[in-house]
Amino acid sequence: MESSSDEEEVRTFVQVLSEKYSPENFPYGQGVVVMLSPPGSPVKDRLFVPSILVLSDYGIRKAGDRSDIAAFCAHVVELDLSHNQLNDWTEICDIVSNIPRLDFLNLSMNPLSGIELEPSMAEVFPRVRQLVLINTHISWDTVHTLTKHTPELEELFLCLNGYNTVSESQTSCPSLRLLQIADNQLQEWAEVRKFGQMYPSLRTLVLANNSVGSVGDTHDALQRLFPNLRSINLNNSGLSTWEDIERLNFFPKLEEVKAKGIPLLQPYTTHERRSFLLAQLPSVVLLNGSSVSNGEREDAERLFIRYYQDSPQQERPERYHTLVSKYGQLAPLAEVDLSPRSTTVDVRWGERVEAVSLHLEQTVGDLKKHLRALLQLPTNRIRLFYINREMSSVVGPEELKCGSRALHSYSIRDGDEILVVPKVEGCCSSSDL
């Protein structure tokens, strides 16, 4: 009974395809093809099969009838088989060999650890351009077998596979443009540099969430190994010295860098982190996902100089000296006091004088409201004149007419005087408040 139960649980690609895309479950045909099943096939009379198949998390373990796959999938270009139970390359190859136009294949989260792919079987992948093998724990030998037999492969995803070393292949894969190998356990640059030898056309390398602690190669070596690299993602890696950041400039075509969460930048503010990276990477036009303007770059380089110009000589990065030769020594930025300014003036009306503290960011109208209770007058009956203590004999009182004008614009200082003259009713309007 137990054996029979286990047998029933083995689901095939053909079975799942038949169920998901039957007329009952998938009645609408936009962008799909109606195919007739071969005579005698257990599959429904017709299926609505789209060119992009998503059969993720259906418990698929086997391929099923190859002639059915060929009949229904001749037009399929993308296939997502992630989160299934495929653990035999024979079954996977039976599926792939009958989908002749397959361009994208996702086998992520299938248990492929320790399951080797025979080179003779790998010839069924000739048109695949994107291959996703995340969290499969696929061996490097099988990776190399696949890349050797996929002459058009452009993008390879190997994240979460537990790699702490990289096994070199005897055969390079010159078509590969993008390698995602994030979330593994790579630590040594000696492992990373092998990608340059195996994938000479690599343009994008995603190393995020590995523990790579340095960029340990010379200028000549990086130029030779990564001649086409345009983008590198080092987020949450172990980089801890400015020399490692400077070495990124040795990649001859590098223009995009991601370097968030690295130990080197922890002591700095968010603004300083971006600025200091920019100052070190003159050719980078996209940093941590944001484009870089010429103005931002210049500001960053000047900030970098000012930050290090008071440091001991031995603590200054090499880039500091290059930037000083570009801009010269820079004067420290003036301290700008942005706190609200206030002053104390004498408010005089009639025979009375009272010292009043003014907040100079307030307006003339605000001042009249403030004085209303003190003077026992409505604001539309108050006229104010400003008397500059030092210049009163030359310029005389200046009426504060405009209610919306800020007090600081009159250059009021401690000890100056505000003269209050009550308006005579009927003589003046209040339209200037």
CA distance 297 to 276: 10
- Per-residue DSSP letter, 363: B
Sequence letter at residue 74: A
Picking from 294, 327, 360, the residue at the C-terminal end of a domain is 327
- What does the DSSP assignment read for 105-144? EE-TTS--TT-PPPTTTGGG-TT--EEE-TTS---HHHHH
Do 310 and 352 share a domain, yes or no? no
Q: What pLDDT is recorded for position 347?
A: 87
Domain harbouring 395, CATH code = 3.10.20.90
Sequence letter at residue 28: Y
Do 97 and 15 share a domain, yes or no? yes
Q: What are phi and psi of 2, to 5 degrees?
A: -65, -40
Q: Does the residue 198 lie in any domain?
A: yes
Do 98 and 165 share a domain, yes or no? yes
CA distance 217 to 160: 26
Do 175 and 297 share a domain, yes or no? yes
CA distance 125 to 171: 17
Picking from 301, 327, 353, the residue at the C-terminal end of a domain is 327
Residue-wise pLDDT for 66-101, tens only, equals 999 998 899 999 999 999 999 999 999 999 999 999
Do 192 and 229 share a domain, yes or no? yes
Q: What pLDDT is recorded for position 375?
A: 79
Picking from 277, 294, 327, the residue at the C-terminal end of a domain is 327
CA distance 51 to 239: 44
Q: Which residues contact 241 (CB under 8 A, 6 or more apart)?
A: 214, 264
Do 35 and 132 share a domain, yes or no? yes
The answer to whether 84 touches 92, Cβ cutoff 8 Å, is no
Q: What pLDDT is recorded for position 258?
A: 98
Do 293 and 365 share a domain, yes or no? no
Q: Does the residue 428 lie in any domain?
A: no
Domain total of the chain: 2
Domain harbouring 27, CATH code = 3.80.10.10
The region, left, alpha or beta by phi > 0 then psi within -120 to 50, assigned to residue 415 is left
Do 223 and 121 share a domain, yes or no? yes
Q: Does the residue 336 lie in any domain?
A: no
CA distance 312 to 134: 47
CA distance 158 to 185: 12
Q: What are phi and psi of 257, to 5 degrees?
A: -135, 140
Q: Does the residue 433 lie in any domain?
A: no
Residue 417 three-state SS: strand
End-to-end CA distance of the chain: 95
Q: Does the residue 404 lie in any domain?
A: yes
Residues of the chain with pLDDT under 70: 1-8, 25-47, 333-340, 393, 424-433
Length of the chain: 433
**In the block, residue with structure tokens 């399929």:** 76
Q: Could you list the residue range(s) of the whole structural domain that residue 279 is in?
A: 2-327
Q: What pLDDT is recorded for position 429?
A: 40
Q: What pLDDT is recorded for position 27?
A: 56
Q: Does the residue 296 lie in any domain?
A: yes
Note the pTM of the prediction, 2 decimals: 0.73
Do 170 and 272 share a domain, yes or no? yes
Q: Does the residue 359 lie in any domain?
A: yes
Q: Residue 374 belongs to what H/E stretch?
A: helix 364-375
Residue 264 three-state SS: helix
Do 352 and 270 share a domain, yes or no? no
Q: Does the residue 321 lie in any domain?
A: yes
Sequence letter at residue 17: L
Do 264 and 403 share a domain, yes or no? no
Q: Which residues face 326 on adjacent strands? A: none
The answer to whether 12 touches 62, Cβ cutoff 8 Å, is yes
- Closest alpha carbon to 278 in 251, 245, 306, 307: 245
Q: What pLDDT is recorded for position 340?
A: 54
- Closest alpha carbon to 247 in 203, 292, 213, 295: 213
Do 249 and 372 share a domain, yes or no? no
The answer to whether 342 touches 358, Cβ cutoff 8 Å, is yes
